[in-house]
Structure 1
């Protein structure tokens, strides 16, 4: 018999309401198990661990996006590549042989360029930096392993998940599925500040372990939009259909870039602190060519080409969500063995045969005049199986048709979230 590992990723965001107090932020940071690095001591060094994994994480983000795009159709897209990669990287500590090779390839890691230990050291340092309570943008990350009390994990696996990923290890009774489900949902609810409730409806009968990754993000624009300037406007879904939205307006300096080759505008809107959002508005009919060109090199070129200019900016308020079967998407990306009876997760629990039965991701985010709030959970379950031009007119950039959004943490050069807003008035389940 094989045991099953269940992975669930959930991201949630709500509209920011007012200012978030420093005391609340610090209290919530103290709940985390992840130590933070001093604000300056490690940020200036060369060859830092998190720098080694940043290119692979970016490659994974855009590979995964393109796979999601194939299935999303005309639906909104929003997910956290960091949450997915963190959860599966943690899982890879227990993988061996071809299962491990496929996981590395799926996560875009090339072991000729980065050693396996460097991958985990990279995530270790990444988690330290992102959980730094001194940052003005709030990012809190929590990892947990819920383990059936009949499953005996290898000590090295336990040591590695706690050392590299600061994971909590929680003994659970999966023979009582209802109680175990309730316990996991409670953990997720706490880690996402009450925004994610009753995510898991049930667990497979043969579940032996559940791996959870939660990310909560809250950021305020460096220069908020004026609430009084927000008004009703029209967002074009396509050439024939439109919806009414609340459109925010600004006339101020932004870092922008016009990519003539890809026919799109790129606008950077920074948060207070060291996070920033990149909004990409393709010309009418140019969305596919922009999406096809989404690579880390493309985004790097956009970031390097940004110039500060005063512009008229129209951006809709939106709250969007999406659900993804990560198992299905990974299988289409060539990661198949970890989900099959051939899975080799022998470094997790020795003779106990394990495979991943489910991997899901649910995401939701809100963007408003003040900023952005988001939260993420990843759960894995194991079960048994058989330059400014002074005299030019300011550009008027209106996000009134489908556009892309990416949220970055500049300290770690990490892509936290990626999305496509097709209909800002829709909320998918």
Structure 2
């Protein structure tokens, strides 16, 4: 076997969540529907793995960004490497063909990058390649066709210039919110695959800044912190899950994207996390009812960075990171492996998404008959695109006063 060379996978993202409509039934036959269950399965398994390794820490990541990056990579994978990748991403090859998986991501990318009113959402891919690193024509064609990926010539013999080129690209695509996604490149790197996602939205009904007040947030039984708490009295879709001991509140953005905030009862966080999965999410969605809530939600920012290789190893994806890797569909030779994977994420939750949203009318009612739901202890959240059923982002807020999650 010739010398083993390295690929890097990077997934960078940014979201401004400033807290729509049901999906068109005509969309149900589009290819992205076939990959939705697998993507949901991967999202929850990835979350559970992080949660088990980082108790007490904030969590935030984009499942669809990571899934898209590795599905893209699977275009060049063969034999056991391909089977491991697809299984790790939640796809049973007996239930869905490799072709349908790529067509599903093609359809998903086209839909998520659709023109929309009220919010910005873009998801994309790129390959930075050595000038002397020849990619197979089929791989390049499929990369462009299914994953909208551009091949960008990069001189890895000048690593500082390559790092700058890649970081500038990610920074531009994420509107300046993900910077310095990589610090250096080792001498074995021949290509870097980048996936990015950018999301910025307004609440359908913004919070009024004038009502935001500092309030206690109970991190645990012994720790409390002061955080700015946004307050709203309005009608929301909500559900009290008595079996799991939690409240679920759905807060819509303008458009087809909605946020789910899940507030476990005191001491029930681990119980809710253990049950978290696509069946529970479906149950919550189907059980929502309209009620007037006195909703209190903290303003917070999260910044995270994850070694995806470490997590995927725990999910059974191993060969692609070793000398057993078969990525011969990329160059025709078995001399490639993925040496490093990085996923960086940033989240900012505020009263309004844009200046225009600040002028929106806020409905304030009296407190009679209002159900108080105060997110003043650790909670979970998901941001879901309801057209495609894609989980764009998910996470856990253990301490909203801590922006940087050390990983």
TM above 0.5, yes or no, is yes
Q: How much does 1:361 deviate?
A: 1.0
SS in structure 2 at match of 1:205:
coil
Moved over 6 A (4+): none
1:423 aligned to which of 391, 399, 402: 399
| Partner in structure 1 of residue 323 of structure 2 | 341
Query: Distance in 2 between the 1:426 and 1:42 partners?
Result: 39
Are 2:308 and 1:326 aligned? Answer: yes
| Partner in structure 2 of residue 190 of structure 1 | 172
2:126 aligned to which of 130, 134, 144: 144
Q: How much does 1:45 deviate?
A: 4.3
Q: How much does 1:141 deviate?
A: 1.5
| Partner in structure 1 of residue 102 of structure 2 | 120
Structure 2 regions of 5+ residues with no counterpart? 355-367
1:7 aligned to which of 6, 9, 27: 9
Tell me if the contact between 2:384 and 2:393 (Cα under 8 Å) persists in the aligned partners. Answer: yes
1:285 aligned to which of 267, 270, 295: 267
- Aligned Cα RMSD in Å? 1.8
Tell me if the contact between 1:43 and 1:411 (Cα under 8 Å) persists in the aligned partners. Answer: no
Tell me if the contact between 2:8 and 2:339 (Cα under 8 Å) persists in the aligned partners. Answer: yes
SS in structure 1 at match of 2:376:
coil
SS in structure 1 at match of 2:258:
strand
1:316 aligned to which of 291, 298, 315: 298
SS in structure 2 at match of 1:170:
strand
| Partner in structure 1 of residue 140 of structure 2 | 158
Tell me if the contact between 1:247 and 1:316 (Cα under 8 Å) persists in the aligned partners. Answer: yes
Structure 1 regions of 5+ residues with no counterpart? 18-40, 373-391
| Partner in structure 2 of residue 24 of structure 1 | none
Tell me if the contact between 1:9 and 1:84 (Cα under 8 Å) persists in the aligned partners. Answer: yes
Query: Distance in 2 between the 1:142 and 1:124 partners?
Result: 11
* TM-score when normalising by structure 2: 0.92
Tell me if the contact between 1:243 and 1:425 (Cα under 8 Å) persists in the aligned partners. Answer: yes
Distance 1:180 1:118, change over 3 A: same
Q: How much does 1:153 deviate?
A: 0.8
| Partner in structure 1 of residue 363 of structure 2 | none
Tell me if the contact between 2:217 and 2:225 (Cα under 8 Å) persists in the aligned partners. Answer: yes
Tell me if the contact between 1:50 and 1:126 (Cα under 8 Å) persists in the aligned partners. Answer: yes
Tell me if the contact between 1:94 and 1:348 (Cα under 8 Å) persists in the aligned partners. Answer: yes
Tell me if the contact between 1:12 and 1:363 (Cα under 8 Å) persists in the aligned partners. Answer: yes
| Partner in structure 1 of residue 377 of structure 2 | 401
| Partner in structure 2 of residue 271 of structure 1 | 253
Are 2:289 and 1:303 aligned? Answer: no
* TM-score when normalising by structure 1: 0.88
Tell me if the contact between 1:281 and 1:403 (Cα under 8 Å) persists in the aligned partners. Answer: yes
Query: Distance in 2 between the 1:289 and 1:202 partners?
Result: 41
